[in-house]
């Protein structure tokens, strides 16, 4: 079963600010002096590549239940968590700290023995359905409401 990440207005606004800051930094040299065409081309392509990577990473997030593990994918970043390694699930709003592949402040933290820092924060769009599906695969998991 596949779940998509929830995207909230806060996260969209945050990403918009990040893209604007990257744009200002990328194109600032053009405002100081008259730049040759090659410099404009390099700055524009760098801006597009960096912005595209950030947006791809944050807005293509999927959580997939396989037979033996939970697969979390966001852009090039992937986490494979075997169900037997999942110990606890709890709600969280601290999305800027720790290991996270999400796009909303309405998130859950999955504690396990596999991922970096011992937990991963995710934000499935249908949170209740996601947790009930997780319970099917991990009947011994402790779920904090």
Residue 43, helix vs strand vs coil: helix
pLDDT band at 120 (very low <50, low <70, confident <90, very high): very high
High-pLDDT (> 90) share of the chain, %: 64
Query: What is the number of alpha carbons within 13 Å of residue 61 lying toward its C-beta?
Result: 20
Residue spans per domain, the chain: 1-145
pLDDT in tens, 15-45: 999 999 999 998 888 788 777 888 888 989 9
* CA-closest candidate to residue 114, choices 59, 65, 72: 72
pLDDT (0 to 100) of residue 32: 80
pLDDT band at 48 (very low <50, low <70, confident <90, very high): very high
Fold designation for 1-145: PH-domain like (2.30.29)
**Average pLDDT value for the chain:** 91
Q: Which tokens sit at 91?
A: 């709600």
pLDDT in tens, 62-99: 999 999 999 999 999 999 999 999 999 999 988 888 88
């Amino acid at each position: 079963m596949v779940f998509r990440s929830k995207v909230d207005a806060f996260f969209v606004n945050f990403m918009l600010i990040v893209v604007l800051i990257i744009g200002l930094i990328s194109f600032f040299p053009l405002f100081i002096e008259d730049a040759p065409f090659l410099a404009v081309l390099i700055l524009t392509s760098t801006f597009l590549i960096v912005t595209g990577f950030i947006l791809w990473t944050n807005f293509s997030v999927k959580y997939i239940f396989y037979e033996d593990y939970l697969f979390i994918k966001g852009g090039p970043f992937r986490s494979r968590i075997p169900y037997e390694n999942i110990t606890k699930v709890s709600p969280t709003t601290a999305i800027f700290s720790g290991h996270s592949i999400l796009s909303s402040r309405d998130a859950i933290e999955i504690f396990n023995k596999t991922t970096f820092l011992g937990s991963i924060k995710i934000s499935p769009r249908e949170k209740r359905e996601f947790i009930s599906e997780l319970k099917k695969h991990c009947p011994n998991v402790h779920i904090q409401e």
